Amino acid sequence: MLRTLTKLIIITVVLSSTAYASNRLYSDNTLTPTNGLYLDINMGLGYLLEDSYLIGANVKDGVELLNVNVFASYGNWYLDADRSQLSGGWIVGYSAIEHSNWDLDVIVTQAQDGFDEKGFNLYNSDEIPQLKGITQRAFDVTGGLRLSRRFGDNQASLELLQDISSTHNGWIVSTFYSKIIPWQNWEFRTGLGINIYSRDFTNYYFGISPKEQRVDRPVYRPKSAMSVVYEFHAEYPLNENWIFLAGWMTTWFSQQIYRSPIVAQNYQHKAKIGVRYVF
């Protein structure tokens, strides 16, 4: 059992991208205790459009040939990798308390992707001139507590996360409110979140050290920062197994982030359209 879960975690980490959250943010999430082993895998493909906030980075677009979504649980433990939603990512958790639609979980997840002179695209062989000379920022792994409450098709959550990978040693506080709206055969999902980042987090990813300084890139040491996230998703069943999906997500950054010399704008947009196959 432990060997199987370990393999699933490795697959999840390799396939994940920016991990703001997963389907745990919605009221129909299945991250609750189960009897024995439960495993659900579905996959799909789509077209993704992403407007990076890093200076010099081009708008990224292209076909995602294979998106794999994995959910596994055993007793109070669960593993969730969700790439169908734009805010999707990976999470390993333990359901500590479940009472009257309140849930308290211990979770481990990723809060921020790493980047370097090539931007976020690890497979891009071309350096971005405006990022030349910066040191590599590694992705983090965070752990902490998540408190949530479901009421009907709504859910509100609060997450307190601390870097446990010694990447930046900072903390993140995230709140999120979501709502599911069914209409005929459609299902609409909308959510609004606020993320607060500590000084250590902000300075690691968006600060500029004396070593990175150049004429057009001064030393920059930001303090704590925040971001606001809005997302909207729509799903429609094409038949018993295939589901059409589309989504939009916008993130706005506070001035401590967008005034960084390596940040071009105070927002980022993402859009996606595709299909998912459910076994």
Collapse the DSSP code of 24 into the 3-class scheme (helix H, G, I; strand E, B; otherwise coil) and give the result.
helix
- Give how many domains the chain has, as a whole number: 1
Domain CATH code at residue 139: 2.40.160.40
CA separation for the pair 171, 225 (Å, rounded): 11
pLDDT digits (tens, 9 = 90+) for 5-39: 333 333 333 333 332 334 678 888 777 788 889 88
Range of 213's domain? Answer: 2-278
What are the CA-CA distances from residue 27 to residues 17, 30, 224 (Å)?
A: 23, 9, 30
- What local confidence, expressed as pLDDT, does residue 19 receive? 29
- What local confidence, expressed as pLDDT, does residue 61 receive? 79
What are the CA-CA distances from residue 40 to residues 25, 80, 98, 182 (Å)?
A: 18, 10, 22, 23
Q: Which residues are bridge partners to 269 per DSSP?
A: 51, 250
- What local confidence, expressed as pLDDT, does residue 3 receive? 44
Average pLDDT, the chain: 87
pLDDT digits (tens, 9 = 90+) for 49-92: 989 899 998 887 788 777 788 889 999 999 988 877 787 788 99
pLDDT at 223 over 50: yes
Contact criterion met (CB below 8 Å) for 230 and 249: yes
- Rounded mean pLDDT, 97-113: 93
One-letter amino acid for residue 44 of the chain: G
Q: Rounded to the nearest 10 degrees, how much is the dihedral formed by the CA atoms of 113, 250, 230, 256? A: 60
- What local confidence, expressed as pLDDT, does residue 23 receive? 65
CA separation for the pair 108, 142 (Å, rounded): 6
**DSSP states of 212-267 as a string?**
G-BTTB--B----EEEEEEEEEEEEESSSSEEEEEEEEEEEE-HHHHTSTTB--SE
Please give the residue that has the higher pLDDT: either 17 or 172: 172
Q: What are phi and psi of 9, to 5 degrees?
A: -65, -45
pLDDT at 198 over 80: yes
What are the CA-CA distances from residue 131 to residues 55, 119, 265 (Å)?
A: 7, 8, 15
What are the CA-CA distances from residue 198 to residues 19, 80, 185, 202, 220 (Å)?
A: 18, 26, 42, 6, 16
Contact criterion met (CB below 8 Å) for 198 and 170: yes
